[in-house]
Amino acid sequence: MIDSLVQHTLNSEIEFSGVGLHTGYKCTMKVFPAEDNHGYKFERRDLDGKPIIDATTNNVSSTLRSTSLSKDGVEVHTTEHILAALYAMGIDNALISLDAPEIPIMDGSALEFITEIKRVGSKELTAKRKVYKFRKNISFVDKEKEIEMIIVPNKNNEFKVTVMVDYKSPVLGTQHASIDGLENFEKELASCRTFVFMKEVAHLADKGLIKGGEVDNAVVLADRPYSEEELAEIGKNIGRDDINILPNKTGVVSTSELRFNNEPARHKLLDILGDIALTGRYLIGHILAARPGHYSNVEFAKLMSDTIKQTEDLPDLRTDRAPILDINAISNLLPHRYPFLLVDSILDMDENSITGIKNVTMNEPYFQGHFPANPVMPGVLQVEAMAQVGGVFALSTVDDPEYWSTYFMKIDDVRFKQKVLPGDTIVFHLELASPIRRGLVHMNGKGYVRGKLVSQAVLLAQIVKDRAPE
């Protein structure tokens, strides 16, 4: 399901009831199936008009110990755990309906959410899944807090996250956690609970937080032993007669031990997944995070969202990768020869598209007359080079391509955006406009120099078997 090419939603509604970690409000949350391209949306059904808040980075209103969303004054708090569960289970579209302002904290992890999602299962929709492959590094750095997050390209077209946390605490120490692929979420991360240091409890309470916090929905850590009297005073400060924590103990002072030795680091990784779900995309790349928190997660997600918005519709224009077809392989497919072979290499090709390059040098014979004192590559030759890249694609679909040729039938919507000069490298990207039928190949082509569009055309050609073995 996670590897599916199409979007998914739940088979049926699921429901959860519990208390909000920070607000202390009781909440019944219902998660409903949703249609194609709905994404994640939160509904406050307890308010007039049942207002909707889209789960996007633009709607983040607070990252203080959790991720809150708001729109038009309506808020939803602690969204990260349910979003992480839906995201990791390959649920692209869901309506999350609440009768209170905060998601139930459950046991402090995403385990109960995962259990219910698995129980009802998911179903395929028809729209293409939204996936983004990072082709360059994107990073967020906060030098003051010693936070660094970066996503780097993954050559295996996979998603991976590696986290390091260091609270300079003798209890927690330095911890690492990683996940290779979302399919490991249930086993490796789902059960990992939120955590808090005992020394933070009173301070967080003063900020109006952790009103619903209990030792059964969070891991409480102590850097030093706390006496019964100290615990009673902390309980009094946060409005609790009994905080149910074992006295005179360091380390984990909750009523249950850690589920993993590095459970805090694993929970930080879980939070990252919930926060990057706000990008609305499944990501291909390797995220490395040092000392992350909700603030850095969201700022990092915003940077990734900006990159996605700016480049999502662009093909991979990198020219520093090894070609899949060199000039010799191209010559085995195309009948063109010097001086009319205008493709130097093919960088990428799949069932629907192809990317190839033309290196423009001063040695091109047409520069002798176009123009000697101001050399400019003729637009008609740009179109020809584009068509030859399309010809490689077309001939790669037939057996014995040496006996076939491609012939132009029509050229539409030809446009030239800027000059192409000696020293430029044109990256041509062509995509099928419709499936190949009866030998007709209909493609949308664009040429780029240094990431900028220089030419475009809609090409129609026919593959013809016009030669026979001798």
| Residues classed as catalytic | 294, 370
Q: Is the dihedral of CA 142, 148, 149, 154 positive or negative?
A: positive
* φ, ψ (nearest 5 deg) of residue 428: -100, 130
- Report the alpha-carbon distance of residue 161 to residue 448 in Å, rounded: 33
Query: How many CA atoms are closer than 13 Å to the CA of 324, on its beta-carbon side?
Result: 12
Tokens 């499936």 correspond to what residue?
Answer: 435
Write out the two tokens for 58. 């633009």
